[in-house]
Amino acid sequence: MEKKPRAGADGDEGGTRGEASGGSESWGLVERLPEALLVEVLGRLEVDDACSAAASCRALHGAASAAISAITTIDLSAFAPSNAILSRILAGNVSVRSVSVNCSLLDDSAASVIAKGSLRELSLLKCSFTMGFFAAIGERCGNLRSLKLEMAVAPEVLYSRSSRFSTFLEPIYAGCGYLETLWVKFPLLDPLTADYETGLPSVPGTVKELLLQPVSHLRAKTVFTKAPSLKKHVTGSLESLSLVLDTITDELVTLITSNVHKLVELCLEDEPVTQPTLPEDLTNIGLQALGLCHNLRHLSLTRRYCDFRRVNDFGILMLADGCKQLRTIRFGGFSKVSDAGYAALLHSGKDLKKFEVSNGLCLSDLACLDLDKAAPNITEVRLLNCALLTSDTAISLAPCTNLKVLDLSGCKSIADSGLVSISQLPKLTLLDLAGADITDAGLSALGNGRCLISSLCLRGCRRIGSNGIASLLCGTGTINKTLVSLDIGNVPRISCRAVTVIAKNCEQISSLCLRNCLLITDSSLEVLGSMGRDSGKCSLKMLDLAYCSKLSRNFLRLFEPPLFRGLRWLGVGKNVVQRRGCSPTVAELLERKPGLIICGNACDMGCRNKCHPDIRFVQ
């Protein structure tokens, strides 16, 4: 709107009125809206979107402040706020009930704004706090129901042997008398050096959901052994238990099943560096004990690096006979279990919704025959690194019309015929075919299918190329409108054309992996970075470019404003970090885009639960 010229100083009252009138007409639409309406609208946005809107004008700034101060659920896990940013978001909020924070840049002083009496759920990711922080939480958060701690470094880095981590949680145990959920996770970077003795000697008797990572099987036994002196023990209330152990043993499984009578969910994972020996191993006896848990609904037993060599079909049959109400089954490393054992689990009840097997060396296509009749409500099937599976498995899953998640990563014999059947699943939203033997023709079938796929992984599918990506996103189906996450890393024939097709036909995509695509150049990134410029907002949040060797020395200039608006995570690989004389440098780019995280450690998308030093100091 064109502004009226200001009246002269000798315009008396008329000049004043004219100035006021001109000022009112110069207001935009936002300034004319009622503040209550602006607060209501901004209150429906995510915190980061509300903060972005606040920078637009004074009206939105005031409305955003009021909206944020009234938000009851705040999730700051996608980026790492500083103490100052966290204070501006949380300081005036007295009604927040749930907070999730990436604590990479926070110190103990953050407790002054995090610890609030209204808090019910608290998730602290990548944190390294000391005793003072936990004391403040225990003192001020008396109504806390859920505490989830994902530590950034190993316990020995933070806490001395004389002052174990368990003592740091004592103020929380004392002050939070209603705690029902407790997660304590330390990173497992190397199983050879992992401190499995960092467990909790006692757990509050009110806890219903418990997760410990890592913990030794010996210390875990002390948690579940009832002490006569305690009036209320955790075994009387526990319903969900997740442990990452050094070794899963029959003794521990029997102790859990005999003492925890309300157990509904059990997740046990171990990472032994050498094959366990008796009696320190899981055998059919442990599976028989699990069969006595008739209320069990969710069961996960996985082993990495080694396998469960002492469990065979007999143990699985006893488990299936006792647990007929399982809704989730997740098995990994059962090298001696064949189709007979897996089929018994699949046919043990009609309530099964999620089924996962990884490294099933004896699992073949026969196990999934008539799965739609055995488990009519199944929504998720994950069969990872099962070498005997072929396209017949994918074809047999076609009648499972309720299927939403299908993960066949590492099954290298899945071919185009299987993809044709998969393309007709009407509710499928996640598909992982990493390493499959599919071609561009299979992608064409998927692009013309009726799947509503939002997440697709084609990593390592070496027979596909840019033509296949074009067929996928330019077909008659809807995948180009629903796809938000795409992984085409380690595919040698992916070129700039594929990136251009993605940018032009899939503007809603938020996560894209191009790792080790050796034909990608700067020109394609420029097209990708320009996505959403007409609408003013780019949906792309995460981009993996690790080991894309054809990118120029100064390709980081493509990420300077205004390109790649909204990008939160960028993977570049160690080779970029070690370069000298680049313009701009990593530090300069992060200065211009403070909300961006650059990973130079070749992590998978988003770094997940890993925490690394600030790349600016590594460079």
164-204: pLDDT as tens digits: 666 778 899 999 999 999 999 988 755 555 555 554 557 88
SS3 569: strand
Residues 135 and 212 in one domain: yes
Q: Which residues pair with 121 in a beta bridge?
A: 98, 146
Residues 458 and 332 in one domain: yes
Domain boundary among 44, 68, 92: 68
Classify residue 167: in a domain, yes or no. Answer: yes
Classify residue 566: in a domain, yes or no. Answer: no
Element (H, E) at 541: none
Residues 433 and 511 in one domain: yes
Tell me the whole-structure pTM to 2 decimals.
Answer: 0.87
Residues 410 and 480 in one domain: yes
What would the DSSP string read from start to end of 266-305? EEEEE--SS---TTSS--HHHHHHHTT-TT--EEEEEESS
Whole-Å CA distances, 326 to 242, 313, 333, 352, 375: 17, 18, 20, 6, 11
Classify residue 345: in a domain, yes or no. Answer: yes
Number of domains within the chain: 2
Q: What share of the chain is helix, strand, coil (3-state, %, to 5)?
A: 35, 15, 50
Classify residue 472: in a domain, yes or no. Answer: yes
Contact 416/439 with Cβ under 8 angstroms?
yes
**Widest distance between CA atoms in the chain:** 101
Classify residue 4: in a domain, yes or no. Answer: no
Residues 181 and 55 in one domain: no
Residues 60 and 97 in one domain: no
Beta carbons within 10 angstroms of residue 161's beta carbon: 9
Domain boundary among 518, 534, 550: 534
294-346: pLDDT as tens digits: 999 999 999 988 999 999 999 999 999 999 999 999 999 999 999 999 999 99
Classify residue 210: in a domain, yes or no. Answer: yes
Distance CA 598, CA 616 (A): 9
Residues 422 and 475 in one domain: yes
Residues 110 and 258 in one domain: yes
Amino acid identity at 437: D
In this prediction, residue 17 carries a pLDDT of: 39
Residues 152 and 59 in one domain: no
Residues 333 and 429 in one domain: yes
Domain boundary among 496, 511, 534: 534
Residues 63 and 106 in one domain: no
Distance CA 137, CA 148 (A): 13
Q: Say which CATH number the domain at 399 has.
A: 3.80.10.10
Residues 457 and 521 in one domain: yes
388-422: pLDDT as tens digits: 999 999 999 999 999 999 999 999 999 999 999 99
Handedness of CA 186, 190, 195, 200 (dihedral sign): positive
Contact 295/265 with Cβ under 8 angstroms?
no
Classify residue 574: in a domain, yes or no. Answer: no
Owning domain of residue 364: 73-189+202-225+232-534
Segment-wise mean pLDDT, segments of 10 residues, the chain, 619 residues: 39 41 52 83 79 79 83 87 90 91 92 94 92 93 95 69 67 92 82 56 86 88 71 85 95 94 95 90 96 94 94 96 95 96 92 96 93 92 96 94 96 94 95 97 94 96 96 93 96 95 92 94 91 70 92 88 87 69 79 84 73 51
